[in-house]
Each structure stands twice: as structure tokens, then as C-alpha cells.
Amino acid sequence: MAVPILRVGELAPGHTKKFLLDCDGREIECFVLNVGGALHAFVNRCRHVPMGLDWVENQFFTEDGQFIQCATHGAYYVPDTGECIAGPPCGKSLVRVPIRIEDGVILGDCPGALPDDA
């Protein structure tokens, strides 16, 4: 079932917000990020070891805002595609969460089957 994440315009560029999805009775932590005005959402799980990317709560971007960085071993992911371009899971991608707008609200949907290592 789709879950309301935030209102349109609520998240400024360079900012992120975490949210939870209930998918087949399983709670999945996700995050949405504003990349230059475009919203993207991913499951909050590194593709190296299946653990959250943020060590400091809700801190996903590198200091320069260019990449999403895993706090555990430092993998770099491209914010709009979720592809890892440096670090242990290089070449793998974060699991994208489908989002859509309804009545000025951004909704997130379950991403479907997760990879075994995610």
C-alpha cells in the first residue's frame, strides 16, 4: 500500500528524509532525496552489507552533496540513479522505491522483490 512521504515542495534540494514502508508485513526503511529539484527514493540498505547507509541519522549526502555515501565502508552512490561508482559494491545499485504525486502529496510504494543481498 502506498505511504505518504511528504508534501510537494517540502524537501529542498540537497536534503533527504527517511520513511518506512510496510511490504508484505515486512518493515522496510527507505529515504527520499531531492537532487537538484528532482525527487528520488531508495531502500536504505547498502548493496555491500545489507545495513543502513546513514550512520548519523538522515545523513546520506557527501559533504559536497555530489554523492550518497555509505557510512560503514564509504561506498559512493550516484544520487539520481542509485548506482555505486566507488567502494565494495561498485556496479551494483540501490533498490529504487517508486514514488508518485497525488493531490500534492508524494507517495511511496513497495519496491517489489528485494535482491537477496539487500
Among 2, 6, 29, 72, binds ligand FES (CB under 6 A): 72
Check residue 75 for interaction with ligand FES (CB under 6 A): yes
Report the residue count for the chain: 118
Give the DSSP per-residue string, 18-86: EEEEEETTEEEEEEEEEETTEEEEEES--SSSSS-S-SSTT--B-TTSSSEE-TTT--EE-TTT-BEEE
Minimum distance between the CB of residue 40 and ligand FES, rounded to whole angstroms? 18
Q: Which is nearer to ligand FES, 94 or 106 (CB)?
A: 94
Contacting ligand FES within 87-116 (CB under 6 A) = 87-88
| CB of residue 28 to ligand FES, shortest distance in Å | 17
Q: Is 28 helix (H, G, I), strand (E, B) or coil?
A: strand
Which residues make up the interface to ligand FES (CB under 6 A)?
Answer: 46, 48-49, 51, 70, 72-73, 75, 87-88
